[in-house]
Amino acid sequence: MNYAFRMKLKPGAVAEYKRRHDEIWPELSQLLREAGIYDYSIFLDEEDMHLFAVLKLRDNNKRELLPGHPVMRRWWVYMQDLMYTQPDGRPNEWPLTPMFHFD
């Protein structure tokens, strides 16, 4: 199953956002895999600073458990200065509606 959503960067945060993701923590990568997430990409629309994320979820995924995990929460705090977030540091996330798929 595919899942897509958008987030938004703060002005001037592009280079640092990319750097931090280029150096993603091994424990976060492992957590995402264990939650059933794979083939995860994030794209930037530089015109409005929106990030568009697309990921694949295994049928038995546990994505809904990620917000309570300490590693995920630590990552959100680490990224909070770069993105628009909720008070607990979780990025503001807007789900995207699938409109077309080509295999």
CA 73, CA 17: separation in Å to the nearest integer? 17
Query: What φ, ψ does residue 59 adopt, rounded to 5°?
Result: -55, -40
83 token code pair: 């993105």
Torsion of CA 91, 14, 61, 99, to 10 degrees: 90
Choosing from 21, 50, 69, 101, which is the catalytic residue? 21
Residue 50 annotated among the catalytic residues of the structure: no
DSSP code at position 89: S
* Catalytic positions: 21
